Structure 1
Amino acid sequence: MARASHDFATPVRRVLVALLVLILLGLFLVWRIDSPRAEQLRAAFIDRFVPSFEWALLPAAKLSTMVEGFQSYSRLYEQNQELRRELQKMSAWKEAAVQLEQENAKLLAQNNVRLDPALTSVSGVVLTDSGTAFRQSVLLNVGARDGVLDGWATMDGLGLVGRISGVGQRTSRVMLLTDPSSRLPVRILPSGQHALLAGDNTQFPVLDFIERPEDVRPGDRVISSGDGGVFPAGLVVGQVAQASDGRLRVRMAADYGRLEFLRVLRSHPSEAISDQASVIAPPQQQIGPQLPAAPAAAANPAPPAPRP
């Protein structure tokens, strides 16, 4: 039967723990004793051992610096995110401010257009653009409830755009001058030539039926002539431009690429003549010498005698 081996580790461990407890208790008592000798002992201990423990305190100092840096980085990250959110809000406000500035500029441009004092207008917002290969028109948010009538002229802040071609209760359709079915009598300044502006689904309508094309130059102003009572006279249309094929076209004054607000002109039709006989004809002047008056007998011949 084998002998049981003696366990020396447990008693040694107990002795070491007891010694450690006694040492710590003694240090505590020495550290807490309030006497000059104990104070000198503590000062000597600190001067002897604390400076030599700088290498042991260095990792703790580095760790503390890293913690402070991480906290500072976290605060900077939060501030950066907050600044990003504020920048996004400011970008949205800036975009809204730019749009309002553009709308204000267009409305001011409409107000600065000089028109006949007898002409009044109503402004509307362009809702949709239904431009196709066969039709050029836009839809306004004003209609019959605003007094809009079919055939009235529309302008933006720069020039003539088109005419009302359909009126609803709350909306109305504007046929642009670039529409293929649009025809507008115009006058070219300074020569005063009359012509017909014909839309052809491009941004540069054609000038047809010019009285004397040799008197028209590129850059001449084009205004509405008022012939036929289609539009009021004197509305700005654009400038004459010569195409590569030699045809005379018109560079429109209105900005067709950015139609947002339109002014509908309240034009009144000319007085219709119902009785042509009521029109006083101008006196006819006779050309040549005055003819002698016919005798009364010749003017009133006697009736022939009856036959037997």
Structure 2
Amino acid sequence: MARQRDSADYKGPVRRVLIAMLLLALAALFLIWRIDSPRVERFRAAFIDRVVPNFDWAMVPVTKLSGMVEGFQSYANLYEQNQDLRRELQQMKAWKEAAVQLEQQNAKLLAQNQVRLDPKLTTVSGVVLADAGSPFRQSVLLNVGARDGIVDGWATTDGLGLVGRISGVGQTTSRVLLLTDTSSRIPVTIQPSGQKAMLVGDNSAAPPIDFLESPDEVRPGDRVVSSGDGGVFPAGLLVGQVAQGTDRRLRVRLSADYQRLEFLRVLRSHPAEQITEPGVLIPPPLPPLLMQEPEGLQLDGGANG
């Protein structure tokens, strides 16, 4: 016990002496480093040449860490550039589709002069509030509803391609059933062959094509648009492009960007007018006076008689 007390008594003074010596050494080093003298300058240069090269191993972690920081900054810049390029590519796709539609419309107008075009569809834009989908049902919610005039069955697009149709309308919100949902069935037309088919959702990103009359006339890359049959969707809305899946089935690579559904446009579609009366296609019966034969004109049978 006495020895432990003696050692404990010595530890305090020794610690204080060492701290004082360290402070004196640091003060002397500071003074030597700050003295402006040729001899001291030569001493500093010799000290650096002798000591600094031996500390290369200590600089390796710092060098590696700075390289990692620079690499992370470069990766962040590349990610931002990639996002900008994705947005520009999406805009270019929209412009390309608009140019293709204008080219086709111009060709039809040149072929048929003075043709009356269908009235343009008006739209209601809405913000996607939440993804209301599940593994068995894929849909999204919009912040427009009955107060905005939304009606069940109207088509929705993201500005480029068809997204789905309204399936459930509330007072201030509405639900959009996506084309990828298993309960989605829409008639489509494949261009340029003009083949009619049915796009069937199967909860995958590329829904398959069923009920195709002549599959040999369809090639990957062909445009798929809504046919308008059955009055489900207006005709001519872009759906996507034909692609062949891993299961060798013909599928549709949707043009709508399902990964970034932020704003949707609801197309106001009006039911087609039904003609129930014959109108002027069937002429009215002639008056009795016009049905009488003029005098002096008789049929051959009466003259021979």
- The TM-score bracket by the shorter chain reads 0.5 to 0.7
Relative to 1, partners in 2 of residues 1:63 and 1:128: Cα closer, same or farther, differing over 3 Å?
Answer: same
Q: Any residues of structure 2 matched to 1:39-54 within 5 Å, and which?
A: none
Please identify which structure carries the higher helix content. Answer: 2
Name the aligned partner's letter for residue 241 of structure 2: Q
Relative to 1, partners in 2 of residues 1:152 and 1:66: Cα closer, same or farther, differing over 3 Å?
Answer: farther
SS in 1 for 2:147: helix
Alpha-carbon distance in 2 for matches of 1:123, 1:268: 17
Q: Any residues of structure 2 matched to 1:81-96 within 5 Å, and which?
A: none
Per-residue CA deviations over 1:15-51 (Å, capped at 9, x if unaligned) read: xxxxxxxxxxxxxxxxxxxxxxxxxxxxxxxxxxxxx
Other-structure match for 1:179: 181
Alpha-carbon distance in 1 for matches of 2:134, 2:174: 18
Alpha-carbon distance in 2 for matches of 1:62, 1:168: 79
Alignment match of 2:255 (pick from 253, 259, 271)? 253
Aligned-pair identity (%):
67
Relative to 1, partners in 2 of residues 1:146 and 1:113: Cα closer, same or farther, differing over 3 Å?
Answer: farther
Alignment match of 1:230 (pick from 219, 229, 232)? 232
Question: What is the total number of aligned residue pairs between the two structures?
Answer: 196
Alpha-carbon distance in 2 for matches of 1:122, 1:155: 10
Other-structure match for 2:151: 149
Alpha-carbon distance in 2 for matches of 1:166, 1:64: 82
Where do 4+ consecutive residues of structure 1 move more than 2 Å? 59-67, 112-117, 277-280
Per-residue CA deviations over 1:162-214 (Å, capped at 9, x if unaligned) read: 00001111111000000100000000000000000000010111101111111
Alignment match of 1:262 (pick from 236, 261, 264)? 264
Alpha-carbon distance in 1 for matches of 2:268, 2:136: 28
Alpha-carbon distance in 2 for matches of 1:62, 1:187: 85
Name the aligned partner's letter for residue 124 of structure 2: V
Give the C-alpha shift of residue 278 in structure 1: 3.0
Larger-gyration structure (1/2) = 1
Alpha-carbon distance in 1 for matches of 2:94, 2:146: 26
Q: Any residues of structure 2 matched to 1:137-216 within 5 Å, and which?
A: 137-216=139-218
SS in 2 for 1:214: helix
Give the C-alpha shift of residue 271 in structure 1: 2.2
Relative to 1, partners in 2 of residues 1:176 and 1:130: Cα closer, same or farther, differing over 3 Å?
Answer: same
Relative to 1, partners in 2 of residues 1:279 and 1:245: Cα closer, same or farther, differing over 3 Å?
Answer: farther
Q: TM-score, normalised to structure 2's length?
A: 0.55
Give the C-alpha shift of residue 60 in structure 1: 9.7
Cα contact 1:135–1:180 (8 A) shared by 2: yes
Relative to 1, partners in 2 of residues 1:60 and 1:227: Cα closer, same or farther, differing over 3 Å?
Answer: closer
SS in 1 for 2:172: coil
Relative to 1, partners in 2 of residues 1:279 and 1:185: Cα closer, same or farther, differing over 3 Å?
Answer: farther
Q: Any residues of structure 2 matched to 1:88-167 within 5 Å, and which?
A: 113=98, 118-167=120-169
Relative to 1, partners in 2 of residues 1:171 and 1:63: Cα closer, same or farther, differing over 3 Å?
Answer: same
Cα contact 1:113–1:157 (8 A) shared by 2: no
Name the aligned partner's letter for residue 209 of structure 1: F
Relative to 1, partners in 2 of residues 1:218 and 1:62: Cα closer, same or farther, differing over 3 Å?
Answer: closer
SS in 1 for 2:209: strand
